[in-house]
Amino acid sequence: MASSQNEQDNRRYAVAAGVPMLEPSDSQEAYNFTLLAIEVSERWGVPILLRMTTRVCHSKTIVETPGYAVPLAPAAGFVRDIPARVMIPAYARPAHHRLRAKLAEIAAWNEREGPNTTTAGSPEFGVITSGISYQHVREALPHAAVLKLGMTYPLPLSAMREFAAAHPRTLIIEEGDPYLVESARTAGIAVESQPEIFRFGELNAARVARIAAGDLTPEPKPMPGKPPALCQGCPHRTVFTALRDLNCIVSGDIGCYSLGVLPPFSAMDTLVCMGASIGVGLGLRHTLPPDEARRVVSVIGDSTFVHSGINGLVEMVYNPPATGHVLVVLDNGTTAMTGQQEHPGTGRTLHHSATGKFVFENVIRAMGIEQVHVMDPMANPQAFQDLVQSCLASGELAVIIARRNCLLAAGAIRQYEKCAESDKNVQ
Protein backbone atom coordinates (compact mmCIF):
# COMPACT_ATOMS: atom_id res chain seq x y z
CA MET A 1 0.00 0.00 0.00
CA ALA A 2 3.02 2.30 -0.39
CA SER A 3 1.39 4.15 -3.27
CA SER A 4 -1.13 1.91 -4.97
CA GLN A 5 -4.87 1.67 -4.85
CA ASN A 6 -5.42 -1.64 -3.08
CA GLU A 7 -3.74 -3.88 -0.52
CA GLN A 8 -3.64 -7.36 -1.99
CA ASP A 9 -1.69 -10.54 -1.51
CA ASN A 10 -0.31 -11.84 -4.79
CA ARG A 11 0.47 -15.25 -3.31
CA ARG A 12 -3.15 -16.16 -4.11
CA TYR A 13 -2.35 -15.78 -7.81
CA ALA A 14 0.24 -18.56 -7.63
CA VAL A 15 -2.39 -20.95 -6.28
CA ALA A 16 -5.09 -19.82 -8.72
CA ALA A 17 -2.80 -20.07 -11.74
CA GLY A 18 -0.88 -23.19 -10.68
CA VAL A 19 2.40 -21.29 -10.94
CA PRO A 20 5.29 -22.14 -8.58
CA MET A 21 6.34 -19.16 -6.43
CA LEU A 22 9.65 -18.06 -4.95
CA GLU A 23 9.87 -15.39 -2.25
CA PRO A 24 13.23 -13.67 -1.75
CA SER A 25 13.89 -11.97 1.58
CA ASP A 26 16.85 -9.75 0.58
CA SER A 27 18.90 -8.64 -2.43
CA GLN A 28 21.10 -11.74 -2.44
CA GLU A 29 18.07 -13.98 -2.59
CA ALA A 30 16.45 -11.76 -5.20
CA TYR A 31 19.52 -12.57 -7.32
CA ASN A 32 19.79 -16.25 -6.45
CA PHE A 33 16.07 -16.94 -6.70
CA THR A 34 15.90 -15.30 -10.13
CA LEU A 35 18.47 -17.83 -11.36
CA LEU A 36 16.68 -20.62 -9.54
CA ALA A 37 13.39 -19.52 -11.09
CA ILE A 38 14.93 -19.85 -14.55
CA GLU A 39 16.24 -23.32 -13.71
CA VAL A 40 12.93 -24.58 -12.35
CA SER A 41 11.09 -22.99 -15.23
CA GLU A 42 13.33 -24.64 -17.83
CA ARG A 43 13.27 -28.00 -16.08
CA TRP A 44 9.48 -28.29 -15.82
CA GLY A 45 8.40 -25.97 -18.62
CA VAL A 46 6.34 -23.70 -16.37
CA PRO A 47 6.44 -19.97 -15.61
CA ILE A 48 7.55 -19.00 -12.07
CA LEU A 49 6.22 -16.20 -9.89
CA LEU A 50 9.15 -14.36 -8.26
CA ARG A 51 7.27 -12.51 -5.57
CA MET A 52 8.86 -9.19 -4.69
CA THR A 53 7.42 -7.05 -1.92
CA THR A 54 7.89 -3.39 -1.06
CA ARG A 55 10.57 -3.67 1.60
CA VAL A 56 12.67 -6.20 -0.36
CA CYS A 57 12.57 -3.89 -3.37
CA HIS A 58 13.35 -0.78 -1.33
CA SER A 59 16.27 -2.22 0.61
CA LYS A 60 19.83 -2.93 -0.49
CA THR A 61 22.05 -5.74 0.75
CA ILE A 62 25.43 -6.88 -0.54
CA VAL A 63 25.12 -9.39 -3.35
CA GLU A 64 27.80 -11.96 -4.02
CA THR A 65 27.88 -13.89 -7.26
CA PRO A 66 29.44 -17.14 -6.04
CA GLY A 67 30.45 -18.49 -9.41
CA TYR A 68 26.88 -19.58 -9.99
CA ALA A 69 26.60 -20.61 -13.62
CA VAL A 70 24.03 -18.32 -15.16
CA PRO A 71 21.83 -20.47 -17.38
CA LEU A 72 22.05 -19.35 -20.97
CA ALA A 73 18.85 -18.67 -22.82
CA PRO A 74 18.33 -21.36 -25.44
CA ALA A 75 18.82 -20.15 -29.01
CA ALA A 76 15.55 -18.79 -30.37
CA GLY A 77 13.84 -20.98 -32.92
CA PHE A 78 10.34 -22.19 -33.58
CA VAL A 79 9.55 -25.80 -32.74
CA ARG A 80 5.97 -26.71 -33.48
CA ASP A 81 4.14 -28.14 -30.45
CA ILE A 82 0.46 -27.59 -31.06
CA PRO A 83 -1.00 -29.62 -28.13
CA ALA A 84 1.17 -27.62 -25.71
CA ARG A 85 0.38 -24.16 -27.04
CA VAL A 86 -3.09 -24.16 -28.53
CA MET A 87 -5.54 -24.32 -25.66
CA ILE A 88 -8.65 -25.61 -27.36
CA PRO A 89 -10.51 -27.91 -24.93
CA ALA A 90 -9.16 -31.10 -26.54
CA TYR A 91 -5.60 -29.98 -25.75
CA ALA A 92 -6.39 -28.00 -22.58
CA ARG A 93 -7.85 -30.98 -20.68
CA PRO A 94 -4.68 -33.10 -20.88
CA ALA A 95 -2.62 -29.92 -20.31
CA HIS A 96 -4.33 -29.47 -16.93
CA HIS A 97 -3.41 -33.05 -15.97
CA ARG A 98 0.20 -32.39 -17.04
CA LEU A 99 0.31 -29.19 -14.97
CA ARG A 100 -0.94 -30.94 -11.80
CA ALA A 101 1.61 -33.74 -12.32
CA LYS A 102 4.40 -31.15 -12.70
CA LEU A 103 3.28 -29.31 -9.55
CA ALA A 104 3.36 -32.61 -7.62
CA GLU A 105 6.93 -33.20 -8.85
CA ILE A 106 7.93 -29.65 -7.96
CA ALA A 107 6.39 -30.08 -4.49
CA ALA A 108 8.49 -33.22 -3.94
CA TRP A 109 11.61 -31.39 -5.19
CA ASN A 110 10.83 -28.47 -2.87
CA GLU A 111 10.66 -30.85 0.12
CA ARG A 112 13.97 -32.48 -0.80
CA GLU A 113 16.14 -29.67 -2.13
CA GLY A 114 14.06 -26.49 -2.32
CA PRO A 115 15.41 -23.14 -1.05
CA ASN A 116 13.99 -23.57 2.46
CA THR A 117 16.26 -23.20 5.49
CA THR A 118 16.07 -23.77 9.24
CA THR A 119 17.77 -21.58 11.83
CA ALA A 120 18.36 -23.35 15.13
CA GLY A 121 16.89 -21.73 18.22
CA SER A 122 14.62 -22.30 21.19
CA PRO A 123 13.31 -25.88 21.35
CA GLU A 124 10.09 -24.40 22.78
CA PHE A 125 9.33 -21.72 20.24
CA GLY A 126 9.46 -21.99 16.46
CA VAL A 127 8.44 -19.53 13.73
CA ILE A 128 7.54 -20.40 10.14
CA THR A 129 7.90 -17.45 7.81
CA SER A 130 9.00 -16.32 4.33
CA GLY A 131 10.17 -13.27 2.38
CA ILE A 132 10.72 -9.98 4.18
CA SER A 133 8.95 -11.26 7.29
CA TYR A 134 12.00 -13.47 7.90
CA GLN A 135 14.20 -10.39 8.43
CA HIS A 136 11.74 -8.94 10.94
CA VAL A 137 11.53 -12.29 12.76
CA ARG A 138 15.33 -12.59 13.07
CA GLU A 139 15.54 -9.05 14.44
CA ALA A 140 12.58 -9.22 16.82
CA LEU A 141 12.82 -12.87 17.94
CA PRO A 142 16.51 -13.85 17.79
CA HIS A 143 15.94 -16.70 20.23
CA ALA A 144 13.27 -18.45 18.12
CA ALA A 145 13.93 -21.41 15.87
CA VAL A 146 12.94 -20.41 12.34
CA LEU A 147 11.81 -22.31 9.28
CA LYS A 148 12.22 -19.90 6.38
CA LEU A 149 10.35 -20.90 3.24
CA GLY A 150 11.89 -19.82 -0.06
CA MET A 151 9.41 -21.61 -2.34
CA THR A 152 5.95 -20.94 -0.99
CA TYR A 153 3.95 -22.62 -3.76
CA PRO A 154 3.82 -25.56 -3.81
CA LEU A 155 4.56 -25.55 -0.07
CA PRO A 156 6.91 -28.05 1.60
CA LEU A 157 4.12 -29.26 3.89
CA SER A 158 6.11 -32.22 5.29
CA ALA A 159 8.95 -29.92 6.37
CA MET A 160 6.41 -27.59 7.96
CA ARG A 161 4.70 -30.47 9.74
CA GLU A 162 7.99 -31.80 11.07
CA PHE A 163 9.08 -28.36 12.27
CA ALA A 164 5.74 -27.67 13.97
CA ALA A 165 5.78 -31.09 15.65
CA ALA A 166 9.25 -30.35 17.06
CA HIS A 167 8.14 -27.12 18.82
CA PRO A 168 5.40 -26.87 21.43
CA ARG A 169 4.65 -23.37 20.13
CA THR A 170 4.84 -22.70 16.37
CA LEU A 171 3.88 -19.25 15.20
CA ILE A 172 3.42 -18.23 11.58
CA ILE A 173 4.55 -14.71 10.72
CA GLU A 174 3.47 -13.42 7.31
CA GLU A 175 2.66 -10.07 5.75
CA GLY A 176 -0.82 -9.69 4.26
CA ASP A 177 -3.29 -12.56 4.03
CA PRO A 178 -3.14 -15.66 6.27
CA TYR A 179 -1.90 -17.70 3.30
CA LEU A 180 0.64 -19.85 5.15
CA VAL A 181 -1.65 -20.26 8.16
CA GLU A 182 -4.59 -21.42 6.07
CA SER A 183 -2.41 -23.80 4.04
CA ALA A 184 -0.86 -25.28 7.20
CA ARG A 185 -4.18 -25.74 8.97
CA THR A 186 -5.79 -27.25 5.87
CA ALA A 187 -3.01 -29.82 5.96
CA GLY A 188 -3.69 -30.49 9.65
CA ILE A 189 -0.56 -28.75 10.93
CA ALA A 190 -1.11 -27.03 14.29
CA VAL A 191 0.18 -23.47 14.09
CA GLU A 192 -0.53 -20.21 15.86
CA SER A 193 -1.67 -17.32 13.68
CA GLN A 194 -1.23 -13.58 14.12
CA PRO A 195 -4.18 -11.42 15.17
CA GLU A 196 -6.24 -9.81 12.39
CA ILE A 197 -5.03 -6.25 13.14
CA PHE A 198 -1.59 -7.18 11.79
CA ARG A 199 -3.07 -8.11 8.42
CA PHE A 200 -3.18 -4.43 7.51
CA GLY A 201 -0.05 -2.56 6.43
CA GLU A 202 3.49 -3.86 6.37
CA LEU A 203 5.16 -5.77 9.16
CA ASN A 204 8.30 -4.56 10.94
CA ALA A 205 10.39 -5.83 13.84
CA ALA A 206 8.31 -3.97 16.43
CA ARG A 207 5.05 -5.40 15.11
CA VAL A 208 6.49 -8.92 15.01
CA ALA A 209 7.58 -8.55 18.65
CA ARG A 210 4.02 -7.48 19.51
CA ILE A 211 2.55 -10.47 17.66
CA ALA A 212 4.82 -12.90 19.52
CA ALA A 213 3.96 -11.26 22.85
CA GLY A 214 0.21 -11.25 22.09
CA ASP A 215 0.22 -7.46 22.57
CA LEU A 216 -3.07 -6.12 21.19
CA THR A 217 -2.86 -2.59 22.60
CA PRO A 218 -3.65 0.00 19.92
CA GLU A 219 -0.67 0.86 17.75
CA PRO A 220 0.57 4.45 17.75
CA LYS A 221 -0.82 6.40 14.80
CA PRO A 222 1.88 7.48 12.31
CA MET A 223 2.65 11.24 12.33
CA PRO A 224 0.59 13.00 9.66
CA GLY A 225 2.78 13.81 6.65
CA LYS A 226 2.40 16.64 4.14
CA PRO A 227 -0.26 15.52 1.66
CA PRO A 228 0.94 15.20 -1.95
CA ALA A 229 -0.19 17.92 -4.36
CA LEU A 230 -0.14 18.69 -8.08
CA CYS A 231 2.91 20.87 -8.86
CA GLN A 232 2.35 24.60 -9.06
CA GLY A 233 2.02 25.26 -12.80
CA CYS A 234 0.83 21.70 -13.57
CA PRO A 235 -1.58 21.69 -16.53
CA HIS A 236 -3.87 19.24 -14.68
CA ARG A 237 -4.69 22.06 -12.22
CA THR A 238 -6.60 24.06 -14.83
CA VAL A 239 -8.62 21.00 -15.85
CA PHE A 240 -9.66 20.15 -12.29
CA THR A 241 -10.45 23.79 -11.51
CA ALA A 242 -12.89 23.76 -14.44
CA LEU A 243 -14.45 20.42 -13.43
CA ARG A 244 -14.84 21.64 -9.83
CA ASP A 245 -16.38 24.94 -10.87
CA LEU A 246 -18.81 23.20 -13.23
CA ASN A 247 -19.82 20.82 -10.40
CA CYS A 248 -19.11 17.78 -12.58
CA ILE A 249 -19.35 14.21 -11.37
CA VAL A 250 -15.85 13.03 -12.25
CA SER A 251 -14.89 9.45 -12.98
CA GLY A 252 -11.13 9.52 -12.50
CA ASP A 253 -8.15 7.35 -13.25
CA ILE A 254 -4.58 6.67 -12.13
CA GLY A 255 -1.73 9.12 -12.58
CA CYS A 256 -0.54 12.47 -11.23
CA TYR A 257 -4.04 13.71 -11.99
CA SER A 258 -5.47 11.41 -9.29
CA LEU A 259 -4.44 14.30 -7.03
CA GLY A 260 -7.41 16.19 -8.46
CA VAL A 261 -9.31 14.41 -5.67
CA LEU A 262 -7.63 16.54 -2.98
CA PRO A 263 -8.40 20.14 -2.01
CA PRO A 264 -8.47 22.74 -3.39
CA PHE A 265 -10.05 20.80 -6.27
CA SER A 266 -11.89 17.86 -4.65
CA ALA A 267 -12.93 17.11 -8.22
CA MET A 268 -12.77 13.34 -8.51
CA ASP A 269 -15.62 11.06 -7.43
CA THR A 270 -14.41 7.58 -8.40
CA LEU A 271 -11.02 5.97 -8.95
CA VAL A 272 -10.52 2.24 -9.20
CA CYS A 273 -7.72 1.02 -11.45
CA MET A 274 -5.89 1.99 -14.61
CA GLY A 275 -8.30 2.50 -17.48
CA ALA A 276 -11.50 2.27 -15.41
CA SER A 277 -12.51 5.93 -15.80
CA ILE A 278 -14.35 5.54 -19.10
CA GLY A 279 -16.27 2.38 -18.17
CA VAL A 280 -17.22 3.73 -14.75
CA GLY A 281 -18.22 7.09 -16.26
CA LEU A 282 -20.40 5.31 -18.83
CA GLY A 283 -22.00 3.23 -16.07
CA LEU A 284 -22.88 6.42 -14.20
CA ARG A 285 -24.26 7.99 -17.38
CA HIS A 286 -26.46 4.93 -18.05
CA THR A 287 -27.85 4.63 -14.54
CA LEU A 288 -28.11 8.07 -12.95
CA PRO A 289 -31.22 10.22 -13.40
CA PRO A 290 -30.71 12.39 -16.53
CA ASP A 291 -30.01 15.61 -14.59
CA GLU A 292 -27.15 13.97 -12.76
CA ALA A 293 -26.00 11.87 -15.72
CA ARG A 294 -25.43 15.07 -17.70
CA ARG A 295 -22.80 16.16 -15.16
CA VAL A 296 -20.62 13.05 -15.58
CA VAL A 297 -17.15 13.46 -17.10
CA SER A 298 -14.46 10.77 -17.43
CA VAL A 299 -10.85 11.95 -17.01
CA ILE A 300 -7.86 9.86 -18.12
CA GLY A 301 -4.13 10.45 -18.61
CA ASP A 302 -2.46 9.98 -22.00
CA SER A 303 -0.40 7.00 -20.88
CA THR A 304 -3.36 5.40 -19.12
CA PHE A 305 -5.50 5.89 -22.22
CA VAL A 306 -3.10 3.90 -24.42
CA HIS A 307 -2.53 1.36 -21.64
CA SER A 308 -6.14 0.26 -21.28
CA GLY A 309 -8.50 3.24 -21.48
CA ILE A 310 -8.95 2.84 -25.22
CA ASN A 311 -11.18 -0.23 -24.70
CA GLY A 312 -13.66 1.95 -22.82
CA LEU A 313 -13.91 4.24 -25.82
CA VAL A 314 -15.03 1.31 -27.99
CA GLU A 315 -17.84 0.74 -25.49
CA MET A 316 -18.67 4.47 -25.51
CA VAL A 317 -19.14 4.41 -29.30
CA TYR A 318 -21.00 1.10 -29.30
CA ASN A 319 -23.41 1.75 -26.39
CA PRO A 320 -23.70 5.53 -26.16
CA PRO A 321 -25.62 6.77 -23.10
CA ALA A 322 -28.83 8.67 -23.82
CA THR A 323 -27.29 11.85 -22.38
CA GLY A 324 -24.03 11.47 -24.34
CA HIS A 325 -20.70 11.48 -22.52
CA VAL A 326 -17.65 13.69 -22.15
CA LEU A 327 -14.12 12.32 -21.90
CA VAL A 328 -11.08 14.48 -21.12
CA VAL A 329 -7.73 12.97 -22.15
CA LEU A 330 -4.93 14.69 -20.24
CA ASP A 331 -2.12 14.66 -22.80
CA ASN A 332 0.86 15.94 -20.85
CA GLY A 333 3.38 14.30 -23.19
CA THR A 334 4.73 11.81 -20.68
CA THR A 335 3.99 9.21 -18.01
CA ALA A 336 4.60 11.71 -15.24
CA MET A 337 3.68 9.85 -12.09
CA THR A 338 6.00 6.87 -12.54
CA GLY A 339 9.08 8.81 -13.66
CA GLN A 340 8.44 10.43 -17.04
CA GLN A 341 8.57 7.36 -19.22
CA GLU A 342 7.71 7.63 -22.90
CA HIS A 343 4.53 5.97 -24.19
CA PRO A 344 3.06 5.30 -27.66
CA GLY A 345 1.46 8.79 -27.76
CA THR A 346 4.83 10.56 -27.46
CA GLY A 347 6.19 9.01 -30.65
CA ARG A 348 9.47 8.11 -28.93
CA THR A 349 10.80 4.79 -27.65
CA LEU A 350 11.60 4.28 -23.96
CA HIS A 351 15.15 5.38 -24.89
CA HIS A 352 13.72 8.59 -26.40
CA SER A 353 14.54 7.92 -30.05
CA ALA A 354 11.86 8.61 -32.65
CA THR A 355 9.36 5.87 -33.50
CA GLY A 356 5.76 5.52 -34.73
CA LYS A 357 3.36 7.88 -32.97
CA PHE A 358 -0.15 7.11 -31.72
CA VAL A 359 -2.02 10.34 -32.55
CA PHE A 360 -4.88 10.60 -30.07
CA GLU A 361 -7.20 12.81 -32.11
CA ASN A 362 -6.79 10.73 -35.29
CA VAL A 363 -7.46 7.44 -33.55
CA ILE A 364 -10.39 8.79 -31.52
CA ARG A 365 -12.00 10.29 -34.64
CA ALA A 366 -11.41 7.03 -36.52
CA MET A 367 -13.18 5.18 -33.72
CA GLY A 368 -16.33 7.14 -34.46
CA ILE A 369 -16.33 10.11 -32.06
CA GLU A 370 -17.40 13.17 -34.04
CA GLN A 371 -16.73 15.86 -31.43
CA VAL A 372 -13.00 15.78 -30.84
CA HIS A 373 -11.40 18.96 -29.48
CA VAL A 374 -7.73 19.61 -28.83
CA MET A 375 -6.93 22.47 -26.49
CA ASP A 376 -4.12 23.69 -24.25
CA PRO A 377 -6.01 24.13 -20.98
CA MET A 378 -3.56 26.74 -19.69
CA ALA A 379 -3.57 28.98 -22.74
CA ASN A 380 -7.01 30.27 -21.76
CA PRO A 381 -8.50 28.55 -18.70
CA GLN A 382 -11.89 30.21 -19.20
CA ALA A 383 -12.06 28.99 -22.82
CA PHE A 384 -11.26 25.49 -21.58
CA GLN A 385 -14.04 25.63 -18.99
CA ASP A 386 -16.46 26.94 -21.65
CA LEU A 387 -15.50 24.05 -23.92
CA VAL A 388 -16.24 21.45 -21.20
CA GLN A 389 -19.55 23.17 -20.51
CA SER A 390 -20.60 23.21 -24.16
CA CYS A 391 -19.64 19.54 -24.61
CA LEU A 392 -21.75 18.63 -21.56
CA ALA A 393 -24.67 20.68 -22.88
CA SER A 394 -24.48 19.08 -26.35
CA GLY A 395 -25.73 15.72 -25.05
CA GLU A 396 -23.43 14.00 -27.54
CA LEU A 397 -20.27 11.96 -27.30
CA ALA A 398 -17.33 14.34 -26.98
CA VAL A 399 -13.63 13.95 -26.32
CA ILE A 400 -11.45 16.86 -25.23
CA ILE A 401 -7.71 16.34 -25.50
CA ALA A 402 -6.16 18.72 -22.97
CA ARG A 403 -2.67 19.03 -24.43
CA ARG A 404 0.11 20.71 -22.52
CA ASN A 405 3.40 19.13 -21.45
CA CYS A 406 3.99 18.24 -17.82
CA LEU A 407 5.87 21.18 -16.33
CA LEU A 408 8.61 18.99 -14.88
CA ALA A 409 9.13 17.04 -18.12
CA ALA A 410 8.82 19.97 -20.54
CA GLY A 411 12.59 20.75 -20.71
CA ALA A 412 13.54 17.14 -21.38
CA ILE A 413 10.76 16.75 -23.97
CA ARG A 414 12.12 19.81 -25.85
CA GLN A 415 15.57 18.18 -25.90
CA TYR A 416 14.20 14.86 -27.18
CA GLU A 417 12.26 16.66 -29.89
CA LYS A 418 15.38 18.57 -31.00
CA CYS A 419 17.40 15.35 -31.12
CA ALA A 420 14.69 13.57 -33.11
CA GLU A 421 14.62 16.54 -35.55
CA SER A 422 18.39 16.52 -36.05
CA ASP A 423 18.34 12.72 -36.49
CA LYS A 424 15.80 13.19 -39.29
CA ASN A 425 17.99 15.85 -40.95
CA VAL A 426 21.02 13.56 -40.81
CA GLN A 427 19.02 10.78 -42.49
Ligand X SMILES: Cc1ncc(C[n+]2csc(CCOP(=O)(O)OP(=O)(O)O)c2C)c(N)n1
Interaction site with ligand SF4 (CB under 6 A): 230-231, 234, 236, 256, 332, 336, 406-408
Nearer to ligand X, 273 or 419 (CB): 273
| Residue 61 in contact with ligand X, rule: CB under 6 A | no
Q: Which is nearer to ligand X, 146 or 413 (CB)?
A: 413
Q: To the nearest whole angstrom, how small is the minimum distance from the Cβ of residue 86 to ligand X?
A: 28
Binding site partner of 301, from ligand SF4, ligand X, none, Cβ cut-off 5-8 A by kind: ligand X
Which is closer to ligand SF4, CB of 231 or CB of 262?
A: 231
Q: Distance (Å, rounded) from C-alpha 127 to C-alpha 169?
A: 8
CA distance 29 to 35: 10
Residue number with CB closer to ligand X (295 or 348): 348
Q: Which residue is nearest to ligand X (CB)?
A: 301
CB 239 to ligand SF4: min, Å: 11
Across 4-16, b (16+ Cβ under 10 Å) vs e yields eeeeeeebeebee
The least CB distance from residue 338 to ligand SF4, in Å, is: 10
Of 133 and 405, the one with the shorter C-beta distance to ligand X is 405
As measured in angstroms, the least distance from the Cβ of 246 to ligand X is 21
Phi, psi of 118 (to 5 degrees): -120, 135
Q: Could you tell me how far CA 78 lies from the centroid of its own chain?
A: 32
Instruction: Name which position in 338, 349, 390, 394 contacts ligand X (CB under 6 A).
Output: 338
For ligand SF4, the closer of residues 154 and 252 by Cβ is 252
Q: Report the residue from 335, 346, 385, 405 that binds ligand X according to the rule CB under 6 A.
A: 335
In the bound state with ligand SF4, the residue whose beta carbon lies nearer, of 181 and 330, is 330
Q: Does residue 257 interact with ligand X by CB under 6 A?
A: yes
Shortest distance in whole angstroms from residue 286 CB to ligand X: 25
Residues sharing a CB contact under 8 Å with residue 261, sequence separation 6 or more, in sequence order: 252, 267, 268, 271
Distances (CA, A) of 164 to 150, 160, 185, 200, 218: 17, 6, 11, 26, 30
Q: Does 334 bind ligand X (CB under 6 A)?
A: yes
Nearer to ligand SF4, 195 or 233 (CB): 233
User: Does residue 298 interact with ligand X by CB under 6 A?
Assistant: no
- Work out whether 255 is an interface residue with ligand X (CB under 6 A): yes
Pattern of binders to ligand X over 299-328, x per CB under 6 A?
A: --xxxx------------------------
Cβ at position 257, least distance to ligand X in Å: 5
270 forms part of the interface with ligand X (CB under 6 A): no
Q: Answer with the entry of ligand SF4, ligand X, none that 369 interacts with (C-beta below 5 to 8 A by kind).
A: none
Residues near ligand X, by CB under 6 A? 4, 254-257, 273-274, 301-304, 330, 332, 334-338
